Structure 1
Amino acid sequence: MSLSGTGNYCQLASDNGGSSCSHRHPWHTPEIDTSTPLAAGQLLLLNTLTGQKEPFVPMNQRHVKWYTCGPTVYDSSHVGHARTYLSFDIMRRIMSDYFRYNVLYHINTTDIDDKIILRARQNELMRLLEEDSSVNYEALVLLAKEALLEAKVKSEEKEMAIKLAIEEAIVKKDSRGKTEQEGLLEQHIFKRKKLEEDEAKILAACSSENEQTNASARASLLLVAKSVIAEKLDREKGHLITDHSVFNAHAQKYEREFMEDMEALGIREPDVLTRVTEYVPKIIAFVEKIIDKGLAYKSNGSVYLSLDAFLAAGHNYRKLKPAGPGGAVSTAAEMAEGEGALDTGAKGGEKRHPNDFALWKASKAGEPSWESPFGPGRPGWHIECSVVAGDILGERIDIHSGGEDLKFPHHDNELAQSEACFGCDQWVNYFTHTGHLHIDGLKMSKSLKNFITIRQALEANTARQLRIMFLLQAWDQPMTYSDQTIDDARSKETTFKSFFREVEALAREDYLNQEVGWRMDDADHKLAEAYMAARQTVHESLLDNFNTKDAMLALLKVINEANAYLRMPNVKPATLTLRSIAVYVTQILKVFGVVNGTDDFGFGSGGGGGADGKAADGSGSESYIGAMVNFREHVRNAALAAAKGGDASSAIQSILQICDGLRDDVLPTLGVRLEDRPTGTMWNLEDPEVMMKEMAEKAAKEKEIQIGKLEKQLVARTKDLEKVRSSMVKPQELFKTDEFKEWDESGAPTVMANGDPVSGGQVKKKKKAIEKQEKAYQDLMEKCGNNPQELLDSTQREIDAIKSKLDELSL
């Protein structure tokens, strides 16, 4: 479908990337060399360009050119980034290690961008403020309060603008615009609550009652007010930051951190890694080529792609996230996002059409710039990916990947400028986008300040557990990061590890006994069938849009069936079949990156020790000998005590405790895991650090459970104490308070303290309360033998004892 005419833009009835729509722009299957037959089984890939799963056909037989948008390095990467890059790492591993495609994988780092400029300027201004001794605590208090007030006014204005936009959308019956603005309002309300939290901290730090020294009070205030002060300083003095090194140092710091995070997550390095600032000359040449074709224009030192000219040339726009029928191509909010966080100055007719977007931005004061034929400036947000990917992978790309939020404007604008430059109608054959990662009901985002950094996540979880968590989710769908999802991943990890250990023990035992099994009964046949069914399911799942969730569930299912088989009575395990299952599961987990070959996870990994008797920590056989000698001594002493006339049952109990101590406390430090089974004890070698961590986690959970029980006991006993205190009041004394001055013989008040009579209805209520108190008082006297004070004291002692235990556990 070709479109022409000013403002004649093609739209879609739906933004749902997972559904087909007749309004979509044309997409055609890539041409291939038909002389090469396709491999058995066709890989299907959800292509955002069509909104449905398409047969994956690389342009050059089994060679795949794959580009993924890298990070904008202005802050620490969070778990949302981990979700994206881990998902693509898994898909890349499956593509190359399972389906055996030859993949050239390219990632680009955005090291110059509006967000980087803003953050670098703000950090530099805050550094200068912190070092400026002339700004004392009192002056800083005034600055913080002014900045806070400005932030609140700005927040209120934005909220009013969003609500007005919602009302306008309702009047215009623009359901798409209304939904978009409602989403923005939800995010804004979340930000407003964060600002309110910051306000409370700032006002507390500004309090005159602050007991800190002037210097420490200043430092505390700078810490809690950094966000609002930095924004104020940037508005007023950002134009004064002109040193390029400020921006370069900021980007380089977070680029290094990102690469370290990727390594910590076990993500393979790309085959090619590029950086925007190293491509500025080629970016300028790229933009000039589009201008020469008449598809872009210069304006006040900036360059914009002309959508009217682009469409008139027969191209299509907004392929990934088309606008709704009858609406404008881009809303104001979308265009604002497309142009970046800094005002480009595109006002007063600088753009020929409001939806045109910047290829090159004229730099203002406080922004880095490069010389160009268009004037001093910097690359637009979208142009970088087109240039670097075009340079490395060529004028046609098999796969282009990124996060869901990059569909529009970033990727749609990429497509437009690339197709304008290269003169093609399909620069990318397959677009893949990972779903959002949600936390607390909202997309994890730095702007919302609701993110967990990758480093924070790795403090509480291993890289393997995070990878398993993402493997258990569909890569192209939203998911929630929560205690439940990570606990589920940990549980699955334990299932795999336990199965591998079990089969290793069986294989070792059969080898020692020279028995590996030479027959198959019904149970053995069912196990073999389950194994083959799992292999088939895994294969079909991976062909179906890299469906790792179903593939993982198939692996876990065959393990559960194998475990059930092993628990069957009177069954001699078919060790060879079990070993084949364990080997296969390990192979698939290697493909997924769960088994990396350098640790003790997986079948046949060797565990935490070796055949030479040396522990993983290098302590050697001396540690084992010492443990055994110590164990023998304790058992011998217990037996001798019983032989000398001691209590035999007590000696037996003592010996059992010593055995359990060996299993639970001693051998784990040596990397030996014992598991007591009805058929005997199974042992395996393990990494001592892993076992010690497990022991620490188990102790922490037991401690948490104990604290929970004690806290419940404390609440219950506190209620008992209050009940005793209230029941100790004699019924006739219940209302003998300053509120009244006369009472009847039962103790019910009749005259208020001011001389007014108590109403009849109130007197009735008071008498009922007295009757209730009479019963409570009598019940108490019977319970405590007319000595309530003793009960009160004993209850208080119990409460004190519980509090003491809680204090001990809290240390």
Structure 2
Amino acid sequence: MSLSGTGNFLNPPCCPDNRHPWYPPEASTADPIAQGHLLLRNTLTGKKEPFVPMQARHVKWYTCGPTVYDSSHVGHARTYLSFDIMRRVMTDYFHYNVLYQINTTDIDDKIILRARQNELMKQLEEDATVDFDKLVVMAKEALEEAKAKSDEKREGILAAIEEATKNKDSRARTEQEGLLEQHLVKRKNLDRDETQILEVCNNSSKDGDSRAKLLVAAKSVLAEKLDREKGHLITDHAVFNAHARKYEREYMEDMAALGIREPDVLTRVTEYVPKIIAFVETIISKGLAYKSNGSVYLSLDAFQEAGHNYRKLNPAGPGGAATTEAEMAEGEGALAAGGSEKRNPNDFALWKASKAGEPAWDSPFGPGRPGWHIECSVVAGDILGERVDIHSGGEDLKFPHHDNELAQSEACFGCHQWVNYFTHTGHLHIEGLKMSKSLKNFITIRQALENNTARQLRIMFLLQAWDQPMNYSDQTIDDARSKETTFKSFFREVEALLRDDYLSQEVGWRMGDADRKLSDAYLTARQLVHESLLDNFNTKDAMMALLKVISEANTYLRTSNSKPSVLLLRAIATYITQILKVFGVVNGSDDFGFGGAGDGRGDAGDGNGSEPYIGAMVSFRESVRNAALEAAKGGDAKSAIDSILKICDGLRDEVLPTLGVRLEDRPTGTMWNLEDPEVMMREMKEKAAKEREIQISKLEKQLVAREKELEKVKSSMVRPQDLFRSDEFKEWDEAGVPITMANGEPVSSGQVKKRKKAIEKQEKMYADIMEKSSNNPQELLDSVQGEIDTIKAKLADLSL
């Protein structure tokens, strides 16, 4: 068959793992990679399939964009960077003609809730009649309501787990256990909020500053309470629009900061409402959807009776297990009306009747708003047509969002396969949990870019399989930084060789064994990169192939007895750069290398503007000259040499980095390269921070040792005969051994013996301290105390 979705449905292809039929485009039955075919993991089949676009070399690609209710986090970066890399490989390496569309969800339950809550919190903040005392009462009430709601939620989950266990329903039990884990994290966040709220309530002076602090501490629980009580009063569309536009702009800025290419087409839900209404009317006219209380639902019973399949991406499993309550809640949103108006509890909304406090558009079904899933079907159908080659999104969208998209699109277009290839990025985890705003364990893209460059984040994702879960951690970031350094160091080596004009010295005109070995490694790397990219965009193995040939080249440079083949090294560096450009790690028109851009999104400056360099050299010359003149006056040549070397190191380590010049001292001389000053300054800060940590650790160990020494000096200063002279005893012998207790009872012979040994030990310690201090232990004590004070002062300075 040449078009997907138009095959013989009486004899569908094999469907493993209880999956629904997938009708593949025509492809060669030979080894796809050997035949040069791209393999793509297709969620519709759960395995890698040969990629065959509906029209040769043309690809229609749709990706779900953000729901713009809050700042984008690194989990979003994981998805959009991964698809950006795949798109770049498909266009810049495999040379497909791609039409890439992204949609922005700018009206949704989450946006409505967050916009209402923020507006109500703003009104509360500006309400002068609510003073600190009234706010304390409100905050405590909101806290108790939130805790009661949390307890009720927990009891419901535990009851569901018990029921699933009783019914031996492992699928439902696993789902509820996952919900319990998430609930416990949320409860931990609520407990933290409670601590902060009570701290402000109990330790404040009731002034304006205290009120502001309480508003911040109690924001989460107060916002929910206010929304329950007054959310229905927020009716102005401008409130919801302003909220969505703010985070929409922030999302676009974040994507630009990450170096992600803009889509070819960017759509927005609120601009498609008339076409959404028409789309819904078409489904109703086919008898596959129905109206109910102003809403419209897709009838899954009618849909499947018409020969369509449901839950293609996340099959229900053996026996066709029904959609769970948790899955339906996720699909319908936080503001869903409930299931009483549905014919089948699993039917999902195409159009939602708007309640008080929700934006509404007029429609033949009554005032309402689009359902969550319908938007993607309509915007993608309008731009890309009734068939789509690739549809992409995050793992968490597979069900219900994407499965519901497929159902309503196939219902409207009358086809059995709206999308040929579905791709889903794996979850991003922090501390073992999926990154989620509801769990408050997310790192925003902007926070991530404060400590890492866009290039480092891109390399981190390149080193992971795009369709598998991954952990975001210091280890993964450090690994990306290490790989970036490897690339940079290699480019600097080759640049230095070219600058030394080795070609004019007749180098590279003949090849020895080492040269041939390196050339074989180069060709092998190219083949491995090609095969890796054909194999489901396997950028991890492609990056490893690039790093391996760099390792081979470094070994070649380190061990070769003859002068290096600069032509070959330049070819390797140029190829690596070309692949890194395909990946979006490098931009610009340089033959090879990162250029001067530290974030992978631009080139270095053009080198114009010599004033900073002239100023640095003038200052350097003056410092060296003054050091020499000072030495000439005193005749101290060694002092002059030390000063000049220190000035030279300062030029290398402190001055030139600010100008983007990197110097490296080598046994054969000094190598220089141009670099992005921001990158070098960041490296300097990181190096200084590590050195400071090392200093702090060293000083802390010294402090422990000196404090132990102080205690030893203090105890050694006690005269042996005074060791046991205390109120515990009444009489002692001439050596100071106690013989009578304070109550008149004699000290036991065992205790007398024990204390004699202690006095003997003290005699040795006392003699040692007197000898060590020249009979002045107080001076030694003061000296050790002075060292402790000095160490503490240094630690205080380093902690600033």
Q: Structure 2-normalised TM-score? A: 0.90
1:550 and 2:544 correspond? no
In the alignment, the residues of structure 2 paired with residue 58 and residue 593 of structure 1 have an alpha-carbon distance, to the nearest angstrom, of 24
Which stretch of the first structure deviates more once superposed, 640-649 or 729-738? Answer: 729-738
**Which residue number corresponds to residue 266 of structure 1?**
259
**Which residue number corresponds to residue 415 of structure 1?**
406
The alignment partner of 1:22 has SS state of helix
The alignment partner of 1:329 has SS state of coil
Task: Give 1:545-624 correspondences, 5 Å limit.
Answer: 545-597=536-588, 602-603=592-593, 605=595, 618-620=608-610, 622-624=611-613
Query: Does the CA contact (< 8 Å) of 2:595 and 2:675 recur in 1?
Result: no
**Which residue number corresponds to residue 667 of structure 1?**
656
Query: Does the CA contact (< 8 Å) of 1:510 and 1:575 recur in 2?
Result: no
**Which residue number corresponds to residue 397 of structure 2?**
406
Match of residue 361, structure 1, among 352, 356, 359 = 352
Q: CA deviation at 1:644?
A: 7.0
In the alignment, the residues of structure 1 paired with residue 180 and residue 739 of structure 2 have an alpha-carbon distance, to the nearest angstrom, of 57
Q: Structure 1-normalised TM-score? A: 0.89
Q: CA deviation at 1:500?
A: 1.0
**Which residue number corresponds to residue 116 of structure 2?**
121
Task: Give 1:293-308 correspondences, 5 Å limit.
Answer: 293-308=286-301
The alignment partner of 1:107 has SS state of strand
**Which residue number corresponds to residue 93 of structure 2?**
98
**Which residue number corresponds to residue 49 of structure 1?**
44
In the alignment, the residues of structure 2 paired with residue 758 and residue 407 of structure 1 have an alpha-carbon distance, to the nearest angstrom, of 85
Match of residue 151, structure 1, among 146, 157, 177 = 146
1:536-575, Cα deviation, whole Å (9 max, x unpaired): 1100000000000110111111111111111125320100
Distance 1:240 1:362, change over 3 A: same
Task: Give 1:370-519 correspondences, 5 Å limit.
Answer: 370-510=361-501, 513=504, 515-519=506-510
Match of residue 165, structure 1, among 157, 160, 177 = 160
Unpaired segments of 5 or more residues in structure 1?
1-19, 609-613
Distance 1:194 1:787, change over 3 A: farther
- Read off the aligned partner of 2:299 and give its amino acid letter: S
**Which residue number corresponds to residue 782 of structure 1?**
768
Query: Does the CA contact (< 8 Å) of 2:502 and 2:566 recur in 1?
Result: no
Query: Does the CA contact (< 8 Å) of 2:63 and 2:102 recur in 1?
Result: yes
Unpaired segments of 5 or more residues in structure 2?
1-14, 599-603
The alignment partner of 2:301 has SS state of helix
- Read off the aligned partner of 1:450 and give its amino acid letter: N
- Read off the aligned partner of 2:198 and give its amino acid letter: L
**Which residue number corresponds to residue 702 of structure 1?**
691
In the alignment, the residues of structure 1 paired with residue 740 and residue 70 of structure 2 have an alpha-carbon distance, to the nearest angstrom, of 69
Which stretch of the first structure deviates more once superposed, 630-639 or 77-86? Answer: 630-639
Which stretch of the first structure deviates more once superposed, 668-677 or 302-311? Answer: 668-677
**Which residue number corresponds to residue 216 of structure 2?**
223
How many residue pairs align between the two structures?
A: 773
Distance 1:419 1:99, change over 3 A: same
Query: Does the CA contact (< 8 Å) of 2:692 and 2:798 recur in 1?
Result: yes
**Which residue number corresponds to residue 800 of structure 1?**
789
**Which residue number corresponds to residue 210 of structure 1?**
204
- Read off the aligned partner of 1:669 and give its amino acid letter: T
- Read off the aligned partner of 1:655 and give its amino acid letter: I
The alignment partner of 1:475 has SS state of coil
Which stretch of the first structure deviates more once superposed, 532-541 or 147-156? Answer: 147-156
* % identical aligned pairs: 76
Which stretch of the first structure deviates more once superposed, 790-799 or 255-264? Answer: 790-799
Query: Does the CA contact (< 8 Å) of 1:731 and 1:771 recur in 2?
Result: no
1:468-492, Cα deviation, whole Å (9 max, x unpaired): 1111111011111111111111111
Distance 1:474 1:375, change over 3 A: same
Distance 1:775 1:45, change over 3 A: farther
Distance 1:511 1:284, change over 3 A: same
Q: CA deviation at 1:384?
A: 0.7
In the alignment, the residues of structure 1 paired with residue 746 and residue 155 of structure 2 have an alpha-carbon distance, to the nearest angstrom, of 53
In the alignment, the residues of structure 1 paired with residue 701 and residue 311 of structure 2 have an alpha-carbon distance, to the nearest angstrom, of 58
1:129-168, Cα deviation, whole Å (9 max, x unpaired): 0010000010001001111111111111111211221121
Which stretch of the first structure deviates more once superposed, 523-532 or 723-732? Answer: 723-732
The alignment partner of 2:262 has SS state of coil
The alignment partner of 2:458 has SS state of helix
Distance 1:601 1:463, change over 3 A: farther
Q: CA deviation at 1:633?
A: 4.6
Q: CA deviation at 1:109?
A: 0.3
Query: Does the CA contact (< 8 Å) of 2:716 and 2:762 recur in 1?
Result: yes
Distance 1:118 1:720, change over 3 A: farther
The alignment partner of 1:567 has SS state of helix
In the alignment, the residues of structure 1 paired with residue 723 and residue 406 of structure 2 have an alpha-carbon distance, to the nearest angstrom, of 82
Query: Does the CA contact (< 8 Å) of 2:27 and 2:50 recur in 1?
Result: no
Q: CA deviation at 1:171?
A: 1.2
Distance 1:243 1:497, change over 3 A: same
Q: CA deviation at 1:530?
A: 0.7
- Read off the aligned partner of 2:245 and give its amino acid letter: Q
Distance 1:409 1:631, change over 3 A: same
Query: Does the CA contact (< 8 Å) of 2:514 and 2:560 recur in 1?
Result: no
**Which residue number corresponds to residue 351 of structure 1?**
342
1:189-234, Cα deviation, whole Å (9 max, x unpaired): 1111111111111111111x424x6111111110111111000000
In the alignment, the residues of structure 1 paired with residue 434 and residue 740 of structure 2 have an alpha-carbon distance, to the nearest angstrom, of 61
Q: CA deviation at 1:22?
A: 3.4
Distance 1:190 1:575, change over 3 A: same
Q: CA deviation at 1:271?
A: 0.5
Task: Give 1:641-656 correspondences, 5 Å limit.
Answer: 646-656=635-645
Which stretch of the first structure deviates more once superposed, 405-414 or 791-800? Answer: 791-800
Q: CA deviation at 1:719?
A: 3.9
- Read off the aligned partner of 1:307 and give its amino acid letter: L
Q: CA deviation at 1:517?
A: 2.1
The alignment partner of 1:206 has SS state of helix
Which stretch of the first structure deviates more once superposed, 144-153 or 584-593? Answer: 144-153
In the alignment, the residues of structure 2 paired with residue 345 and residue 227 of structure 1 have an alpha-carbon distance, to the nearest angstrom, of 25
**Which residue number corresponds to residue 177 of structure 1?**
172
In the alignment, the residues of structure 2 paired with residue 372 and residue 68 of structure 1 have an alpha-carbon distance, to the nearest angstrom, of 28
Distance 1:653 1:769, change over 3 A: same
Query: Does the CA contact (< 8 Å) of 1:32 and 1:60 recur in 2?
Result: no
In the alignment, the residues of structure 2 paired with residue 273 and residue 718 of structure 1 have an alpha-carbon distance, to the nearest angstrom, of 66
Query: Does the CA contact (< 8 Å) of 1:317 and 1:412 recur in 2?
Result: yes
Query: Does the CA contact (< 8 Å) of 1:735 and 1:749 recur in 2?
Result: no
1:412-444, Cα deviation, whole Å (9 max, x unpaired): 111111111111111111110001111122111
Which stretch of the first structure deviates more once superposed, 103-112 or 23-32? Answer: 23-32
**Which residue number corresponds to residue 315 of structure 1?**
308
In the alignment, the residues of structure 1 paired with residue 238 and residue 500 of structure 2 have an alpha-carbon distance, to the nearest angstrom, of 64
In the alignment, the residues of structure 2 paired with residue 478 and residue 593 of structure 1 have an alpha-carbon distance, to the nearest angstrom, of 22
